Amino acid sequence: MGVAAALAKALLYYAKATGNTAAQTLGKNLLDALLGHTDSKGIAIAETRADYSRFNDPVYVPSGWTGRMPNGDPINSSTTFISMRSFYKNDADWAKVQAYLNGGAAPVFTYHRFWAQADIAIALATYSELFGTPVTTSPTSSASVSASVSASASVSASVSASVSPSRSTSPSVSPSRSTSPSVSPSRSTSPTPTGGGRLTASYSVQSQWQDGFVAAITVTNNGSTPISSWRVTWTWGGNQKVTNSWSTTLSQSGTSVTAANASYNGSLAPGQSASFGFQGTYSGTNSAPTLAVSGS
Q: For position 282, what pLDDT does the model report?
A: 93
Q: HSE on the CB side for 255, CA within 13 Å?
A: 11
- The predicted model scores a pTM of 0.43
Q: For position 108, what pLDDT does the model report?
A: 95
Closest CA to 279 of 124, 119, 114, 115: 124
pLDDT tens column, 126-145: 998 898 754 444 444 333 33
Give residue 191's pLDDT band: very low, low, confident or very high (50, 70, 90): very low
Domain boundary among 110, 125, 149: 110
pLDDT tens column, 67-126: 999 999 999 999 999 999 999 999 999 999 999 999 999 999 999 999 999 999 999 999
Does some domain include residue 144? no
Domain boundary among 93, 110, 127: 110
- Among the residue ranges 15-29, 136-150, 204-218, 221-235, the one predicted with the least confidence is 136-150
Chain centre to alpha carbon of residue 43: 6
Q: What is the distance between the alpha carbons of residues 274 and 266, in angstroms, rounded to a whole number? A: 8
Range of the domain at 73: 46-110
Domain boundary among 55, 76, 110: 110
- For 268, which DSSP code? B
Closest CA to 121 of 253, 263, 288, 246: 246
Q: Both 291 and 178 in a single domain?
A: yes
What's the whole-number mean pLDDT along residues 186-211? 67
We report the CATH number of the domain holding residue 288 as 2.60.40.290
Number of domains in the chain: 2
We report the CATH number of the domain holding residue 54 as 4.10.870.10
Does some domain include residue 165? no
